[in-house]
Amino acid sequence: MASRSFTILVVPERSSEVRRIQIPRLLINALGILLLLVVATFSAAGAHYYYIIDQAVQNGVLLKENAELRGNIEQISAKLDEVNGTLNRVDLFDRKLREITRLSDPARGLAIGPVNEPLAVGGAADIEAGLFAAPPEPQDPEQQQLEFALLDARLLGLAGEARRQETSLRELSHYFDEQSALLENTPSVWPVQGWVTSEFGMRDDPYTGARTMHLGVDISTAEGKAIIAPANGVVSFAGERGGYGWVLVVDHGLGISSFYGHLKEMLVQVGDKVVRGQHIASVGNTGRSTGPHLHYEVRAHDLPVNPRIYILQ
């Protein structure tokens, strides 16, 4: 039968007396269990402490990353708002130009301007917020995912808007290039300084007195006065032509040409390119002329027209 207690013998030095201490087995067992509980408790507490420390470190990292992410999102959102504002201003300018140039006329089939209808991203919340609405503050991962989805949608929307603006402005650029070429090749300035002594239209012929059609305007000025090209073009004729004496003809393209008669001197020859303002000839008194002057004609598709309808200054 197992003993119910343990005996400890204590023998002091320099003494013959032996002391006996009896410890019950139940107490020993209780102390052992208590020691195990203490060790287990401290072990669990240590493990929990390190777990808490690790979670705190991870939370700190996540908080820092979230703060940086929030800052980046706010910067992107601000830039998107700025780009959207710029596109809105470009759109307004585009519409004004189209009104001025009549490019918005549906009959011409040129209304390619931007489409400003909002694009639904998906879901009532997205539609309510609108394509270019500022993204909401993230409350949880789902809200953050929604914010990223809205940013993506805004980027796609701005990219599409930019493409439409590019197409529209390219069309306007092409239109103004054509208008610029037309203006550059239209004889819109006086070829010489002087006094108009005979207008375009019916008049009494200075030699016969009969009513005849005058196909240009006569500009009286001093002999040798510089004659300039009223528009860009190419010299198509330089030589003598009947009663007009020495003649110069410039082809301006688009069916328009200009005619200069009674010249004293020609400074260009056939095939030469001329630009508006270039000195091309000098006023003379050659041919059938009553005095130094320039006979100036403008023809559209070889039909004489009044030069004044083209002259702007």
Residue 129 counted as domain residue: yes
pLDDT of residue 207: 65
- Among 68, 84, 119, the domain boundary falls at 68
Helix or strand run (H / E) with residue 68: helix 25-101
Question: What residues make up the domain containing 291?
Answer: 195-309
- Tell me the angle at which helices 25-101 and 141-184 cross, rounded to the nearest 10 degrees: 20
> Same domain for 206 and 305?
yes
* pLDDT (tens digit per residue) in 219-245: 999 999 999 999 999 999 999 998 899
> Same domain for 93 and 113?
yes
Q: Pick 5 or 305 by higher pLDDT.
A: 305
Name the domain count of the chain: 3
> Same domain for 73 and 180?
yes
d(CA 177, CA 103): 14
Give residues with Cβ within 8 angstroms of 200, minimum separation 6. Answer: 214, 215, 216, 217, 304, 305, 306, 307, 308
Residue 298 counted as domain residue: yes
Residue 189 counted as domain residue: no
Give the helix, strand, coil percentages of the chain, each rounded to 5. Answer: 45, 25, 30
Q: What is the largest CA-CA distance in the chain?
A: 176
d(CA 132, CA 149): 12
By C-alpha distance, which of 148, 116, 120 is closest to 135?
A: 148
Task: With a cut of 50, say whether residue 113 has pLDDT above it.
Answer: no
pLDDT of residue 132: 43
Q: Pick 5 or 51 by higher pLDDT.
A: 51
By C-alpha distance, which of 240, 234, 230 is closest to 308?
A: 230
Residue 218, domain CATH: 2.70.70.10
Q: What is the average pLDDT score of the chain?
A: 77
Which tokens in the block code for residue 234? Answer: 């190419």
> Same domain for 51 and 79?
no
**Number of other residues whose CB lies within 10 A of the CB of residue 53:** 10
Predicted confidence band of residue 313 (pLDDT cuts 50, 70, 90): low
Predicted confidence band of residue 259 (pLDDT cuts 50, 70, 90): very high
Are the C-beta atoms of residues 193 and 296 closer than 8 Å to each other? no
> Same domain for 106 and 17?
no
Task: With a cut of 60, say whether residue 264 has pLDDT above it.
Answer: yes
Express as a percent the part of the chain with pLDDT over 90. Answer: 30
Average pLDDT for residues 32-53, to the nearest whole number?
Answer: 82
> Same domain for 281 and 203?
yes
- Among 21, 42, 68, the domain boundary falls at 68
Per-residue DSSP letter, 206: T
Which tokens in the block code for residue 75? Answer: 């910067």
**Global confidence as pTM:** 0.49
Express as a percent the part of the chain with pLDDT over 70. Answer: 78
Amino acid identity of residue 145, one-letter, is Q
Residue 190 counted as domain residue: no
> Same domain for 145 and 226?
no
Average pLDDT for residues 58-84, to the nearest whole number?
Answer: 74
- Among 53, 68, 83, the domain boundary falls at 68
* pLDDT (tens digit per residue) in 151-167: 777 777 777 777 777 77
